[in-house]
Chains A and B, each alone.
Chain A
Amino acid sequence: MEKEKKPLEKVCIICAKGNLEDVMAALVMANGAVMEGIEAKLFFTFFGLDAITKKYMNKLHTATVGNPAMRMPGGLPFPTLLGALPGVEAGVTAMMKKGMEKLDIPPVDEFLEMFTAGGGEVYACKLAVEMFGLKKEDMWDDVIDIITIGQFYELADGDRTQIIFT
């Protein structure tokens, strides 16, 4: 007997961090879902809010301190103390962005536009927005709403839904 296929119908992705790579991971997963015809909601909370805050969304950085998986070009270890020097974080971030552009990965604002063009929805966390003293007008224009965690769970209804926390 052939096994019945039960494809995923919806993903709700939570992005709680504001590092460039964490935001990108959330965006690749969210956009990848709409590309596959899977309904997708993206919920930004705490430092992840930077990714949908107009002032910061295209200025996200890769952390160069406390990241043991980071290496020099060529593979040598990248000493944490070096990462603390002025300008190093900006340089590493620029390299990351160049590498991503080569793979046709867009900057944050364009990536979010691609995601919403495919029917994806973007939400901000009410608690974190209040904590950081942000307002709706500080947020990227296509943020649908600022919602509570309870409303987020309501969005996640359906038995073929998955919630992903990055």
Chain B
Amino acid sequence: MKELNINGVTVQLDDEGYLTDSSQWNEDIAKSLAKEDGIDLTDKHLEVLKYLRDVFNKGETLTIRKVGKSGIVDIKEFYKLFPKGPLKLASKFAGLAKPSSCV
């Protein structure tokens, strides 16, 4: 367990760097988590993250296929925005749990 203080908000991360309480999420937290993985978040990134949070909060499973059909990015662009493991990285920056889907 690790603690992170971003602009006065203290959040807890699990061993793999995922937020333990997704309700604490805000854009500054997303940017700071992404920076640690070497990614500078653009508006497009944030749009994807918000989409993931919406889907997740509806209780649905996140899949790459869904993101590809979201109308925000296609799958190729998704891989480009979050290279080397888009769904895992995007879930992490979106303050969500590690994805549990095989597709």
Binding site for B on A (CB under 8 A): 28, 31-32, 34-37, 103-106, 110, 113-114, 117-119
Contacts and interface: CB of A to CB of B under 8 A. Distances in A.
A104 to B, nearest CB: 5
Given A113-B75, A117-B74, 15 more contacts: A32-B102, A32-B103, A35-B85, A35-B87, A35-B88, A37-B83, A104-B63, A104-B66, A104-B101, A106-B65, A114-B65, A114-B68, A117-B76, A117-B79, A118-B79
Given A31-B103, A117-B74, A119-B79, A36 B65 contact: no
A37 B101 contact: no
B50 to A, nearest CB: 20
Interface string B73-103: 0111001000111111000000000000111
A104 B86 CA distance: 17
Contacts of B87: 35
A114 B87 CA distance: 13
A36 B79 contact: no
A162 to B, nearest CB: 18
A35 B66 CA distance: 14
Nearest to A28: B102
Contacts of A36: 85, 88
B70 interface: no
B85 A37 contact: yes
A105 B86 CA distance: 18
Interface string B50-75: 00000000000101111010000011
A154 B84 CA distance: 23
A28 B63 CA distance: 12
Contact of A118 (B63, B75, B88, B101): B75
A114 B64 contact: yes
Nearest to A27: B103
A3 to B, nearest CB: 15
A28 B102 CA distance: 7
